[in-house]
C-alpha cells in the first residue's frame, strides 16, 4: 500500500505505476460490480468501498493515471466487444481485474453484461442520477476533456496520456455510437434497463450517493460507519474534475517542457563538444 490520502482513503499505487496485467491473475474474489455510468458518484463509491475494506476498487482513475498500461488490455476488450476483433473472456478479466474486489465507473461499466456473466456471485450496484443532470455534468467534464486541445497535445509526449487518451476516445466513440451529444441520453437509459434485466432483484441495489452510508452498507452486509467520525466521501464534483484536469495539464506541460529543454541542451552540448574536438584535432 502506498499510503493513506488526506481523507483517510487507502492509496494502493502511486500514479504512473507500470504493471503488465497480461501477466497477472486473480488473487482476490470479485465481490461488487458498480455498473452505473460515469458521473453518477462513482469516485465517491470507490472511496467508500475502499474505506470498507474492498481492495481494490477499479475506477477510470486507475487506467488514466495509476496504472496506465491497463489501457492496452482495455483497448483489447473494447475491440473484442464492439468490433469483433479477438476474444476477451473470463481469463482476460481475471488478468485485468484480478487484484480487485470491486469495479466502478467506465471503462468497466461499458462491459456490464460481460462482467455480470464472468462474476455471477458478485453483488451489483447501479449508481443513479437524473439523465439530464448526468448528460450536463458529463458534457462539462469528460466530454470537455475529450475535446480539450491541451490534453490532445500532451498525449503525444506523456507516457500515461499516450496510453489513456486513445483508449478513452475509442471507448467513447463505440459506447455512444460516435454521437454523445445526440445519443448519450438514450445510451444511458438503455444501459440501466439492461442491467435491471440481467440482475436478480436480490443482488441489485439502485443507489444515489446522496443517501450516504446506510443503504450501501446494508446491501453489502457491512457495519454502518458513524458519520460523525467517518463522513460519507463525496468526491469529484464538476468543479473538482475541472480543477484536477487543469492541474494535471499544467503539470504535464511543465514536465514536457522540461524534457524538451533537457533534450535541446543535450544536443547543444554535443554540438559544442564536436566543434571543440574538430578544432582541437585540426590543430594537431
Specify whether 56 is located in the same domain as 103. yes
Preceding amide of 70 cis, omega within 30 = no
- Give the span between the Cα atoms of 204 and 210, in whole angstroms: 18
pLDDT band for position 235 (cuts 50, 70, 90) = confident
Structure confidence at residue 239 (pLDDT) = 74
Specify whether 106 is located in the same domain as 221. yes
DSSP codes of every residue in 105-139: STTGGGGHHHHHHH-TTSEEEEE---HHHHHHHHH
Summarize pLDDT for 99-141 with one digit per residue, the tens: 999 999 999 999 999 999 999 999 999 999 999 999 999 999 9
Summarize pLDDT for 20-38 with one digit per residue, the tens: 999 999 999 999 999 999 9
| Domain final position from 214, 236, 258 | 236
Which pTM does this prediction carry? 0.85
What is the domain-level CATH number for residue 124? 3.40.50.300
| CB contact at 8 A, 99 and 20 | no
Summarize pLDDT for 212-231 with one digit per residue, the tens: 999 999 999 999 999 999 99
Specify whether 24 is located in the same domain as 77. yes
Specify whether 12 is located in the same domain as 83. yes
Specify whether 138 is located in the same domain as 262. no
Q: Which helix (H) or strand (E) holds 3?
A: strand 3-4
Specify whether 151 is located in the same domain as 130. yes
Specify whether 140 is located in the same domain as 197. yes
| Domain final position from 202, 220, 236 | 236
Specify whether 10 is located in the same domain as 143. yes
Specify whether 254 is located in the same domain as 215. no
- Give the span between the Cα atoms of 261 and 62, in whole angstroms: 30
Q: What is the domain range of residue 193?
A: 3-236
- Number of domains observed in the structure of the chain: 2
Specify whether 89 is located in the same domain as 126. yes
- Give the span between the Cα atoms of 134 and 49, in whole angstroms: 22
Specify whether 197 is located in the same domain as 268. no
Amino acid at each position: 500500500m502506498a499510503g493513506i490520502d488526506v481523507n483517510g482513503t487507502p492509496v494502493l499505487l502511486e500514479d504512473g505505476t507500470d504493471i503488465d496485467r497480461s501477466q497477472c491473475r486473480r488473487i482476490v474474489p470479485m465481490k461488487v460490480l458498480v455498473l452505473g455510468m460515469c458521473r453518477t458518484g462513482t469516485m465517491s463509491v470507490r472511496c467508500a468501498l475502499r474505506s470498507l475494506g474492498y481492495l481494490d476498487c477499479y475506477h477510470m482513475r486507475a487506467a488514466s493515471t495509476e496504472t496506465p498500461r491497463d489501457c492496452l488490455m482495455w483497448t483489447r476488450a473494447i475491440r473484442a466487444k464492439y468490433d469483433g476483433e479477438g476474444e476477451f473472456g473470463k481469463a482476460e478479466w481475471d488478468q485485468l481485474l484480478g487484484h480487485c474486489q470491486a469495479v466502478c465507473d467506465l471503462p468497466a461499466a461499458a462491459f456490464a453484461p460481460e462482467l455480470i456473466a464472468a462474476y455471477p456471485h458478485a453483488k451489483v450496484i447501479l449508481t443513479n442520477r437524473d439523465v439530464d443532470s448526468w448528460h450536463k455534468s458529463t458534457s462539462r467534464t469528460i466530454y470537455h476533456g475529450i475535446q480539450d486541445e491541451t490534453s490532445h497535445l500532451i498525449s503525444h509526449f506523456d507516457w500515461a496520456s499516450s496510453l489513456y487518451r486513445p483508449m478513452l476516445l475509442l471507448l467513447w466513440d463505440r459506447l455512444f455510437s460516435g454521437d454523445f451529444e445526440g445519443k448519450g441520453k438514450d445510451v444511458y437509459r438503455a444501459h440501466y434497463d439492461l442491467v435491471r434485466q440481467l440482475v436478480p432483484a436480490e443482488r441489485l441495489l439502485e443507489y444515489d450517493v446522496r443517501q450516504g452510508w446506510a443503504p450501501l452498507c446494508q446491501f453489502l452486509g457491512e457495519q454502518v460507519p458513524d458519520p460523525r467520525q467517518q463522513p460519507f466521501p463525496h468526491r469529484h464534483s464538476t468543479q473538482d474534475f475541472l480543477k484536477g484536469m487543469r492541474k494535471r495539464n499544467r503539470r504535464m506541460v511543465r514536465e514536457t517542457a522540461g524534457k524538451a529543454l533537457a533534450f535541446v541542451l543535450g544536443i547543444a552540448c554535443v554540438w559544442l563538444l564536436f566543434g571543440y574536438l574538430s578544432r582541437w584535432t585540426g590543430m594537431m
